[in-house]
Amino acid sequence: MTKTTDTDPREEMAHLIGRIGSDGDMEAFEQVFRAFGPRVRAYMMRLVRDPQAAEELMQETMMTVWRKAAQFDAEKGNAATWIFTIARNLRIDSYRRSRRPDFDPNDPAFVPDADPTADQTMEARDDERRLHAALEELPPEQRRLLDLAFFDEASHSEIARRLDLPLGTVKSRIRLAFNRLRATLGDRS
Amino acid sequence: MSIQHHISEELLLDYATGQLSEGWRIAVATHLALCPSCRRRLAVMEMTGGALIAEPVDEEATQEAASDESASWESLRKRLAADRAQTPDAERPVKAKASSQAGQTVLPEPLRSYVGGDVDTVKWRPLGRGAYHLPIETDDGTARVRLLRIPAGKPVPEHGHRGRELTLVLSGSFHDGDDLFARGDFEEADETLQHQPIATDGEDCICLAVTDAPLKFRSWLVRAVQPIIGI
Ligand SMILES: [Zn+2]
Ligand SMILES: [Zn+2]
């Protein structure tokens, strides 16, 4: 197994966000912005199809990154995942005016994970690296479906219509893709 | 006993990608509060979203959007300066009270806040044949959300669905064919499924049910005949 080093760009991003959180480090923030701004803008663009609205949603996402950086766990957090969830939630809020119900880990009725494993830090790092590798190796037709689901917010039936595939095929390919991704992380499916 | 019936891949992906509207989200999020294994599946999906968003952007989209990264950064910096002058503390949502004894809370968040308290505060409305319900208000025009209380040993009333139906058991249990659904178990049904859930003997079954909202028609005439023709 390869060891992650400090030059790992993914780890680097996590450390930069850590510096924003602890010191309000503007330089670190600019680096995160340069790395993720265009990607987040492209993500927003695929949905809103309006450059100005996409720019606005990207800026809102980066503002949230700044404001919440202290809540990000730089040791075991996955920067890309964290930024994705922020962008996704803003995207939901921007076009649904309703509430966005979510579970609350501090709720007394919340059922916590059974056994938080000893070395979560290494595990989280490993997960991130393995998942990237597994995504690279995914058959193109499975990869394409994930792209449509995440970026175009296409439903399964919408994807089926666009790609002219039976709905059952779309569903089973997506299931196959996640089975594969979970398997690389050692999860049972 | 641990949860046996989980969220389907399709529904969970809709949640992870942000496609589920409010009513359906309540059921999925409430199951997630009770189910570490579905939360792990969600985490993998979100990690996938993160990995996809970290890929280099495609040229086309970049050109259409702001071509000048520096101008974008400058405007963000200005907003940030203005933001820091204000108090950054975002308002926290008000959480509905849990039961007095910890560990006894039946309704997890986010459901409890929608109900306005735990099950002991619910003002049940009779449905007939000993069953009760509590309609839950949302802004989601596509979904009808409610709590159901089915008397022990009795079938779920006024059944038969024309669209999607999500059911999450919160207390007690029910049988559906050979399957037993207890606290945390999640059932997805659609028009292709014929079923007759029956509450287990000995205890009332309380569950959350989300179904397609009945079609809304503009014309009062169509609305008037809607119950008769059954659409
Ligand atoms: Zn589950
Ligand atoms: Zn049903």
CATH number of residue B191's parent domain: 2.60.120.10
How far is B140 from B213, CA to CA, in rounded Å? 9
Please report, for chain A, the start and end positions of each structural domain, with discontinuous segments joined by +: 7-100, 138-184
* Nearest CA distance, A134 vs chain B (angstrom): 10
Q: Which of residues 80-119 of B touch A (CB under 8 A)?
A: 80, 83, 88, 90, 95, 98, 102-103, 105-112, 114
For A62-68, the CB contacts below 8 A with 24+ separation are A62/A29, A62/A32, A62/A33, A62/A36, A62/A37, A62/B76, A63/B76, A63/B79, A63/B80, A63/B83, A64/A90, A65/A17, A65/A20, A65/A29, A65/A32, A65/A36, A66/A20, A66/A29, A66/B80, A66/B83, A67/B83, A67/B88, A67/B90
Interface predicted TM-score (ipTM) over 0.85: yes
Query: Quick check: A129 contacting B, CB < 8 Å?
Result: no
CB atoms within 10 A of CB B100: 9
How far is B207 from B145, CA to CA, in rounded Å? 11
> A98 and B22: CB-CB below 8 Å?
yes
Number of domains in chain B: 1
Closest CA relative to residue B96, chosen from B105, B85, B87, B84:
B105
How far is B157 from B129, CA to CA, in rounded Å? 8
Class of the CATH-defined domain A138-184: mainly alpha
Residue to test with chain B: of A83, A150, A155, A171, most B Cβ within 10 A: A150
Ligand 2 centre and the CA of B34: distance in Å? 22
CATH topology of domain A7-100: Rna Polymerase Sigma Factor; Chain: A (1.10.1740)
Ligand 1 centre and the CA of B214: distance in Å? 28
Closest CA relative to residue B161, chosen from B213, B198, B126:
B213
pLDDT tens string, chain B, 231 residues long: the values are 689 999 999 999 999 999 999 999 999 999 999 999 999 999 999 999 999 988 766 655 555 544 578 889 999 999 888 877 655 454 555 677 766 555 689 999 999 999 999 999 999 999 888 999 999 999 998 999 999 999 999 988 656 677 889 999 999 999 998 999 999 999 998 877 778 899 999 999 999 999 987 755 445 555 555 555 544
* Host domain of residue B5: 1-54+107-214
3-state DSSP call for residue B28?
Answer: helix
Within a domain: B176: yes
For residue A63, the chain B residues in CB contact (below 8 A) are 76, 79-80, 83
Q: Which of residues 138-157 of A touch B (CB under 8 A)?
A: 146-147, 149-151, 153, 155-156
